[in-house]
Structure 1
Amino acid sequence: MIDNETRISSAVVVDELRLNFLPHYLGAQYLRGEALVFDWATRLSSAYKGGSWDFFQLSNGGFYMAPANCGRVHVRWHMNGYSDTMGADAFGIVVTLFALCHLAEKCGDDRIVDHYHALRAYAAQHVEAANILRAID
């Protein structure tokens, strides 16, 4: 069980702070990172057709993006055989993890790797942790 001292919390980013959100976390790679999130969403769910996204900051310094106003999503990743349904928040975490991994590989920035690990730690505490971790395995 996770005690309150190590519990990682998330908070939605208010509209006024959204403009600088991705540049803050991804620096010069923010446009590439955002594009990768949308690309991975399309790759992982045939039901994803675009739309608004919410931004979340984590108490451990991490972040993620998740589709807004979206119900449960069927996610399929052929490279590990994963196929199941998850909530939009969990889907956003999965997509952001895939995008951060991809971006870290492309740009070699250790900050991106640190953000991946911060989000991965939060994912392990998420209500849909088992599903998220199976999807990224």
Structure 2
Amino acid sequence: MTTEIQNRITSSIIPDELRLNVLPRYLGRHYLTGEGMVYDWAARLCSSYDGGSWHYFTLSNGGFYMGPANMGRVHVRWHLNGYNDMMGADAFGITVTLFALCHLAEKTQDDAIIERFHQLREFAAQHVEAANILRAID
């Protein structure tokens, strides 16, 4: 088995009946603030975003992310780094969660939140849309 396959990070969707404890588990006491930041970043990065339901995903490296449930490809624009392109809903969820985790880590200085960012960033680098995600967060 190659090292790349051995180090491959996988994601799994969390069933609806188990969602209640997801954000407190991954964000601790910052879970309400963190959830709000995800939705806020979605609106900042995608002008057509108008709410909706979200899926939660766990990562095999201990991380997590949120992704919109009812979106296809979306146009994402971030004026501070010049990013302006299309991406799929899963990549958009990863991007939005990375922005929110970065913002939350900066605000709280919480090592657990910083670790969540790095876990998701590691997964993002292996994603099929890695180039888009990494350009968007750069």
TM-score (norm 1): 0.98
Q: Aligned pair 1:37/2:38, yes or no?
A: yes
CA distance in 2, matches of 1:76, 1:102: 17
Offset at 1:79?
Answer: 0.3
CA distance in 2, matches of 1:63, 1:2: 23
Alignment RMSD, CA only? Answer: 1.0
Offset at 1:78?
Answer: 0.3
Q: Which residue of 2 aligns with 1:59?
A: 60
Q: Which residue of 1 aligns with 2:22?
A: 21
CA distance in 2, matches of 1:106, 1:63: 19
What amino acid sits opposite 2:101 in the alignment?
L
Q: Which residue of 1 aligns with 2:49?
A: 48
Listed one character per residue, the Cα deviations across residues 56-80 of structure 1 (whole Å, up to 9, x for unaligned) are 0000000000000210010000000
What amino acid sits opposite 2:54 in the alignment?
W
Q: Which residue of 1 aligns with 2:7?
A: 6
Offset at 1:3?
Answer: 2.2
CA distance in 1, matches of 2:3, 2:20: 33
Q: Which residue of 2 aligns with 1:94?
A: 95
CA distance in 2, matches of 1:130, 1:99: 19
CA distance in 2, matches of 1:118, 1:55: 15
Q: Which residue of 2 aligns with 1:115?
A: 116
TM-score (norm 2): 0.97
Amino-acid identity (%): 69
What amino acid sits opposite 1:34 in the alignment?
E
Structure 1: gaps spanning 5 or more residues: none
